[in-house]
Structure 1
Amino acid sequence: MIPTLHGRGVSADEALSEALGRPVSDEEGLTTEGTVVAHWSLLDYYTEESRIWTSVEWAQHLDDPNWQHPFAASPQGDRRAVLHLSVRLHPDDRELTPAEWAEVGHRLARVTGIAPPGDEQSCRWIAVRDQSHRLDLLANLIREDANWAAMPAQVLHVLAAECRRIEADLGLLSPRDHHAGPFQQLTQAVAQPSGDLLDSGRVAHLSVEAQRHLSAARRLVEKAALQLGTPPSNGPGLAHQLERIARRAHALGSDLAEITPGQSRTPAGSAAARLPAARAARTR
């Protein structure tokens, strides 16, 4: 189960359209017995048992706190209150039941601070299930008491940790089974847009991860360059190109170390620095 944190917005129309995979419409009805598999605890005060809301009305319901509390804003003064996150299952995962999808929605809402247990003034939110192997959670971060929801500083990490627990509880496959390489996993983590800037701890973590992968790649390149440069190899030109690539990887690692708190530059005596000397020794 892979979580995605989408960019926050000022209106729920766009987020709900993305969750449904089509534009919202005043002719399409969504029910809490079908597409909306989970929702905030006070929704029953706004709905009638026999009534079906259109997708436009669902979006308006999520947008209402913006109008009811026009001066509410995040601690940074941000007015983009509509949160959108989604999780998708492995293609080989079994199909979850409606009750299981509802459990996933409630657990994600709880760990993100949208719906703290026992809090009757929490955020309006709905969990939408209308795309294969995917669940979307939409929420307005303006609470019923006009305060802004307190979300974890590293919400994507919190979501990922909860997804691992959900996988264990429901017998689902984990991202390790997605056959995604380390670079793809790192890119997925960095690429998720967010309304808040990454904090320094998150930047440091990502920089260290990037250095680790660069170092592993550089070692492979250096090894290939050394092997190609020894007789009876007939590829000295390729060996020279590999040496250049290794040097570039070394320089990138050093640049990353400079911007990472507590990290030092790559030692000058690394294999990348020794390659020219090794080549010269072979040619004498």
Structure 2
Amino acid sequence: MIPYIHETEFFPSIPLSAALDRPIAEQNVLGDLVVASAPLDPTVAEGSPQEWTFAEWEEYLIAPQSLAPYAAGPNANAPEIFHLVVRLHPADRELRRSEWAEIAQRLSRVAGLAPAGDEQACRWVALQARPSRLNVIANLVRGDGVWARQPYPLVRALVEECRRIEADLGLVPAQPQGGRPLTARLPAERIALPKPVAGQSPPAVAAQLATVMCQLADETNGPIASVRGLVEQAAYRLESLPHAYGPEAGHRLEWIARRLYGIQQDLKATAANLPGANQRAAPAPRMPTPQPAPTRHSR
């Protein structure tokens, strides 16, 4: 699990739109994309969080900016809208809604948005609108008009909590070997089409090909998952560069990774619809990944 903090904004519509990753009208309901939030203000809208529209979430998040007394941030013109993104490893299992909610609540506490037992905590919402990704968006102005106190350094606190969440939920660790980034695993061997056999029935041939397609789309040891993992890691490293070209290139790589994920899903769906797909052979056991030799770093 890798956390990434975006630059703060003046308006919540910007991070909300980025989290949804698609155009959306103000009257659209976000529904089950909302996995957790701070206690809602009934003066903004009625109903559960899943019934609120995009415009209502905007109003909810921007409202603290009008509170009095108003405490300025680190500088007088600092924007108030905080945006945190966490991404899972491509090999991680699909999380339940309750697990996403737990992650959001734990990260909001560590980020200083919602300290335990604080009735004047920040307003925040967590959206799970993209595969293996969670967005937490908050207003750093608390309910009492005071600017939230966040730990320093914030990134370190979030990374340490992500490591604890990985251990508690059984997720793939982002840095399993002495702080070195986890690289995508390459397939143990090249996948090849089975050779045609004389007299083989069409359902048997289809079942063999379905097996190959499932191996290609496998999230654990498939070649597309390996490529997708490398692309996502490159995107993360580009987004962290201070130069203007980094975030733009990183965003393009994120879209490439998403298309690769769509290809995996299409392969699985095609395999499932082939005649004889239920006769597929059991997947081959996963081969142990050789440990890389230690690398000496110079300073």
TM-score, normalised on structure 2? Answer: 0.58
**Of 162, 167, 183, which residue of structure 2 is paired with 1:179?**
183
Conserved in 1, the CA contact under 8 Å of 2:69 and 2:146?
A: no
Q: Larger radius of gyration, structure 1 or 2?
A: 1
Q: Could you say which residue in structure 2 is the equivalent of 1:77?
A: 76
Conserved in 2, the CA contact under 8 Å of 1:108 and 1:159?
A: yes
Q: Map of 1:1-284 to 2, 5 A cutoff?
A: 1-31=1-31, 34-43=32-41, 46-49=44-47, 52-69=51-68, 71-176=70-175, 178-179=182-183, 187=237, 190-191=240-241, 213=297, 215=298
Distance of 2:42 and 2:164 partners within structure 1: 29
Paired residue secondary structure (2:35): strand
**Aligned alpha-carbon RMSD (Å):** 2.9
Against the structure 1 CA distance between its residues 176 and 192, is the aligned structure 2 distance closer, same or farther, given a 3 Å change threshold?
A: farther
Conserved in 2, the CA contact under 8 Å of 1:104 and 1:166?
A: yes
For residue 173 of structure 1, report the CA deviation from its aligned partner: 0.3
For residue 78 of structure 1, report the CA deviation from its aligned partner: 3.8
Distance of 1:11 and 1:70 partners within structure 2: 20
For residue 64 of structure 1, report the CA deviation from its aligned partner: 1.1
Which has the larger share of helix? 1
Task: Write the letter of the residue equivalent to 1:22.
Answer: R
Identity among equivalent positions (%) equals 43
Against the structure 1 CA distance between its residues 185 and 165, is the aligned structure 2 distance closer, same or farther, given a 3 Å change threshold?
A: farther
Distance of 1:76 and 1:59 partners within structure 2: 24
User: Structure 2: which 5+ runs fail to align?
Assistant: 177-181, 185-229, 244-295
For residue 67 of structure 1, report the CA deviation from its aligned partner: 2.7
Q: Could you say which residue in structure 1 is the equivalent of 2:210?
A: none
Task: Write the letter of the residue equivalent to 1:158.
Answer: A
For residue 85 of structure 1, report the CA deviation from its aligned partner: 0.4
TM-score, normalised on structure 1? Answer: 0.61
Distance of 1:144 and 1:24 partners within structure 2: 28
User: Structure 1: which 5+ runs fail to align?
Assistant: 194-211, 216-252, 254-284
Distance of 1:5 and 1:73 partners within structure 2: 20
Q: Could you say which residue in structure 2 is the equivalent of 1:241?
A: none
Against the structure 1 CA distance between its residues 15 and 152, is the aligned structure 2 distance closer, same or farther, given a 3 Å change threshold?
A: same
Distance of 1:171 and 1:138 partners within structure 2: 25
Conserved in 1, the CA contact under 8 Å of 2:41 and 2:60?
A: no
Distance of 2:104 and 2:36 partners within structure 1: 6
For residue 43 of structure 1, report the CA deviation from its aligned partner: 4.4
For residue 48 of structure 1, report the CA deviation from its aligned partner: 2.4
Task: Write the letter of the residue equivalent to 1:122.
Answer: A
Distance of 1:192 and 1:83 partners within structure 2: 19
